[in-house]
A and B are shown apart, each in its own frame.
Chain A
Amino acid sequence: MASFGFWEPIIIFSLLNLIFTAGLYITALSGQLSMATAAFGGIGGYVSAVLTTNFDWPFLPAIAAAALAGAVLGGLLAALTIRMRDFILKLTTLAFGEAMAVIAFNIPYLGGANGFSGIPLYTTMTDIVIAALLAIYIAWRFDGSRLGFASRAVRDDPLAASANGVSIRQTRIITFMLGSAIICAGGALAAHYVLLVTPSQMGFYYSLNYIIFLLFGGLQVLWGPLLASVLLTAAPEVLRFTSEYRLILYGLIIVMVVLWRPDGLLTRKKGEGSALNPLGPRAPDPLT
């Protein structure tokens, strides 16, 4: 693919963040606002880095292995937090993320505090574009599916969902598995572009970015957070903000969202005669 010069890293990091945000959106669909996004990204990065560097795995199987690791760990974390609500669940995902960073920090095989280096450069612009499209497609298909709507029901009212035949356990585990698999695959792609995975990048400080993308974009419509992730990643770079200004920008954005659009950029309020109406008038009495 042609060189994008100045734009290349901006596009690549925007799309990587879009992939992470798609994963977090799926995780949050059943009401689990995970604070461990960066930790899962790091795990995906370590898995793929070790397999390619030390075991000579090709790129694609290594990404698949990272996604699998994400699904397994995400499923375990969901099973652990199944009975928790809101605040405690967030704290537990936060603790999980920090614990993963500490574990990576203390494993000399993974490079300890310096991180794992010497990772082969595999990820190209083409790869990132394909991966982002794939992540969007998977998230979009899941979002509108039977399990996607069941997850929304659990997020809105777990008790009513359960009393109407939706398993809280099933939806929470599936969304955490699928979301984490997407995030870990994204982490693998990032590792083979940045060529370094460190424990510090797994911390809460980085996970917070994705929560901001999600809340800014809105929890209800996939396109909101995806748009927010690209905008909020690219804008500071394009405007050549320094990192202090970026924090001020984030602060301003949060205040703006809270004041003007507490439900985020995009919401899914529909009305009568909406373009989304796929059904014409129907005949009465279904029970005959």
Chain B
Amino acid sequence: MRQITRRFGGLVAVSDVSFSVERNRVLSIVGPNGAGKTTLFNLISGVIRADRGSVQFDGQDVTGWEPDRLTRLGLARTFQNVRLFPHLDALENVMIGRFCRTRSQVWDAVLCLPRDRAERRQSRERAAELLDWVGIGHSRFRLPAELPYGEQRRVEIARALASEPSLLILDEPTQGMVAREAHDVMHLIGRLVERGLTLMMVEHNMNVVMSVSDRIVVLDFGQKIAEGPPAEIRADPRVIAAYLGAEA
């Protein structure tokens, strides 16, 4: 049983928000632009520090942990504005995700010890498999700049999966994708949940959110204004007001 709770105060972007997600469930965060969704993900993944509040992961207090330590513990994420390593090709980008699951040290590499050779081979193979799985195995030797935006997003998802996360955080995974591509990616995400992953995501397509989520948290101006299963959220007058207010 995993409980993630987060409280903040002081910070305008996200204030006093608390919620939790259970193992193998999908939690979506929705809300108008600037509501604080990305900031919330940055806080959970350790990219920025909270002024107040705490984060629990797998029953452990992980407040203030460095992002790399959280990744080793099983938390992986993607970025709203894709952040691939520009000088590494797609395959090498995904191999970076294997870093925290491999052990070989300087001397292993210099002395060509078996551990180094085995890990190099396994990392390459695993990364290639993941790229095939997200549907862009053909682009594995392309640099990020040579890839269309949608493919870059998929490389990033593959890179996150390479670290064998138990919790995957996706910030607008289908942003900038054409409908067909977005559909494919949501299909892949659905298969991840079938295999036991816990998912937390920001997504603007309400049809998608309603169909894949177990629970939805609604943010507005940094505050949680509603939380519940899709059917409940759809009917919530405050949510309707916030959305109409933001988009009218």
Contact = CB atoms under 8 A, between A and B. Distances in A.
Partners in one complex: yes
Interface of A: 137-138, 141-142, 144-150, 152-153, 155-157, 159-168, 174, 178, 220, 268-272, 274, 276-279, 281-287
Given A142-B110, A146-B102, A163-B67, A157 B97 contact: no
A144 B121 CA distance: 12
B183 interface: no
A147 B104 CA distance: 8
A167 B86 CA distance: 19
Nearest to B104: A146
11 contacts: A145-B104, A147-B104, A156-B86, A156-B88, A159-B47, A159-B83, A164-B100, A165-B71, A220-B87, A271-B142, A279-B124
Interface of B: 45-47, 66-68, 71-72, 76-77, 79, 83-89, 92, 95-102, 104-106, 108-110, 112, 116, 119-120, 123-126, 128-130, 132-133, 137-143, 159-160, 163, 191-192, 195
A271 to B, nearest CB: 7
Given A146-B120, A160-B85, A165 B99 contact: yes
A268 B87 contact: yes
Q: Is the interface of B mostly helix, strand, loop or mixed?
A: helix
Q: Is the interface of A mostly helix, strand, loop or mixed?
A: loop
A284 B85 contact: no
B109 A147 contact: yes
Contacts, number: 148
Nearest to A174: B106
Given A146-B109, A150-B99, A162 B124 contact: no
A60 to B, nearest CB: 18
Contact of B96 (A149, A274, A287): A149
Given A164-B76, A165-B97, A167-B68, 16 more contacts: A138-B110, A142-B109, A145-B104, A156-B87, A159-B47, A161-B96, A163-B47, A163-B67, A164-B100, A165-B71, A270-B141, A271-B142, A272-B142, A279-B128, A282-B125, A287-B195
B159 A164 contact: yes
Cβ-closest 10 pairs across A and B: A165-B100, A286-B129, A145-B109, A165-B71, A160-B83, A156-B85, A162-B67, A163-B67, A167-B68, A153-B96
A268 B141 CA distance: 11
A182 to B, nearest CB: 11
A269 B195 contact: no
A270 B88 CA distance: 10
Contacts of A137: 110
B218 to A, nearest CB: 25
A142 B112 CA distance: 10
Contact of B141 (A145, A157, A277, A286): A277
B132 to A, nearest CB: 5
